[in-house]
Amino acid sequence: MPQLISLIVPCYNESSAIDLFVATVTPILDAIADTSWEVIYVDDGSRDDTLEKLIALTQKMPSSRVVELSRNFGKEAALTVGLDVSQGDAVIPIDIDLQDPPELIADMVAAWREGAEIVNARRVDRMSDSLLKRKTASGFYKIHNALSRIKIPENVGDFRLMDRCVVNALKSLPERQRFMKGLFAWVGFRTVTIDYTRMTRSAGSSKFSAFSLFNLAMEGFTSFSSAPLRIWTLIGGCGAFAAMIYGFLILLRTLILGNSVPGYPSLFVAIIFFGSVQLISVGLLGEYIGRIYMEAKCRPIYIIRKMHGMQNGCDPEREPEI
């Protein structure tokens, strides 16, 4: 039986990017020897005509399948859906805007056949992203990797090839709040990295605002490290020690020079400073408690409204387990 390659394509309001994506990816997949392929489009609650276009595609191309989610669950959840329904021996998540170059798929498959279980694609040139996005992304990787034992490779996005054994490992992870880049790194396995240059979007605009990227970064920090919690014990300890020394110095000065009135500004600054430090640490505690709360509810990661094209070209031996 030829090896099956599954592409997972999360789509959120991507109507303008679909045609070009299909036209680019199809010949590339066809050209890979000894393989069959399927493309799983996950419609993540699009509000334009993305879903209609994707359904029409399943009628034209039997190897296209569409999973329709009941609302927008976010890219991490959409990727999880794709991993759950994919049947491939190798699975590749890819963005529909062609920022992840499909030409790399052939190289990824070659590396996989040579024994790699994960083939990462690393962006060597992110000039297509704004300066702010590049700087904040690099800051995120640095802080995350300093805090966490699980290191996320810098500039490696979700675009990567994963062997079936890696996908099965990912599927076995029960957490509901999923920071995929961290989970990919957490499962381990033999990894090879290929470099590429990141292109600009083929059509449409980015679906990630600065705020959603900040949320994703917080998700990353709190999912894979408890160091942000622990650091406050250290800061508190240092602060208390400094306060003790300062107190001792004041006592000494009062004994030698007598009592003096000045000191209001420093007092005021100290109150504000320690007040804010406390607020930050309480906020951070809230972040973790929020995570416990979300996990404790045990809600599903996503809800599927309907699957389209699943009967077409689908091998009953490889039926998805949902």
Which residues, 208 to 227, sit near ligand UDP by CB under 6 A? 208
Residue 44 or 89: the one with the smaller Cβ distance to ligand UDP is 44
Give the C-alpha separation, 287 to 291, whole Å. Answer: 6
- Stretch 78-117 residues interacting with ligand UDP (CB under 6 A): 78, 95-97, 99
Q: Which residues pair with 194 in a beta bridge?
A: 121
Comparing CB distances to Mg ion, the nearer of 112 and 159 is 159
- Give the nearer residue to Mg ion in terms of CB position, either 68 or 95: 95
Reduced DSSP (H G I as helix, E B as strand, rest coil) percent helix, strand, coil of the chain, to 5: 50, 15, 30
Note whether 63 binds Mg ion by CB under 5 A: no
Among 74, 88, 102, 228, the residue binding ligand UDP under the rule CB under 6 A is 74
Binding mask 151-190 for ligand UDP (x = CB under 6 A): ----------------------------------------
Phi/psi at 144 (5° precision): -60, -50
Q: Which two tokens stand for residue 134?
A: 């590049």
Angle at 283 between CA 278 and CA 288, to 5 degrees: 130
| Residue 75 interacting partner from Mg ion, ligand UDP, none (CB closer than 5 to 8 Å by kind) | ligand UDP
Determine how many CB atoms are found less than 10 A away from the CB of residue 33.
7
β-strand partners of 118: 162, 191
| Candidates 24-32, 206-214, 262-270, 292-300; binding stretch for ligand UDP (CB under 6 A) | 206-214
Task: Pick what 78 binds: Mg ion, ligand UDP, none; C-beta below 5 to 8 Å, kind-dependent.
Answer: ligand UDP
Under 8 Å between Cβ of 68 and 304: yes
- Single-letter residue type at 253: R
AA identity, residue 23? A
**Shortest spacing between CB 229 and ligand UDP, in angstroms:** 29
Considering CB distances under 5 to 8 angstroms, the limit depending on partner class, which of ligand UDP, Mg ion, none binds residue 182?
none
How many of the other CB atoms lie within 10 Å of CB of 60? 8
**Stretch of 73-81, 98-106, 235-243, 288-296 lying at the interface with Mg ion (CB under 5 A):** 98-106
Q: 10 Å Cβ neighbour count for 113?
A: 12
**Mode of pairing for the β-strands spanning 118-125 and 191-197:** parallel
Residue 208 interaction partner, one of ligand UDP, Mg ion, none, beta carbon < 5-8 Å per kind: ligand UDP
Residue 97 interacting with Mg ion (CB under 5 A): yes
99 binds Mg ion (CB under 5 A): yes
Q: How far is the CB of 56 from ligand UDP (least distance, A)?
A: 18
Residue 68 interacting with ligand UDP (CB under 6 A): no
For residues 3 to 32, the per-residue mask of contacts with ligand UDP, x marking binding by CB under 6 A and - elsewhere, is -------xxx-x------------------
* Distance separating alpha carbons of residues 100 and 199, to the nearest angstrom: 7
Do the Cβ atoms of 44 and 11 come closer than 8 Å? yes
Cα-Cα-Cα-Cα torsion 60, 65, 67, 73, nearest 10 degrees, comes to: -100
- Give yes or no for residue 158 binding Mg ion (CB under 5 A): no
Residues 6+ away with beta carbon under 8 Å from 193: 119, 120, 121, 122, 153, 156
Tell me which residues touch ligand UDP (CB under 6 A): 10-12, 14, 44, 72, 74-75, 78, 95-97, 99, 206-208
Tell me which residues touch Mg ion (CB under 5 A): 95, 97, 99
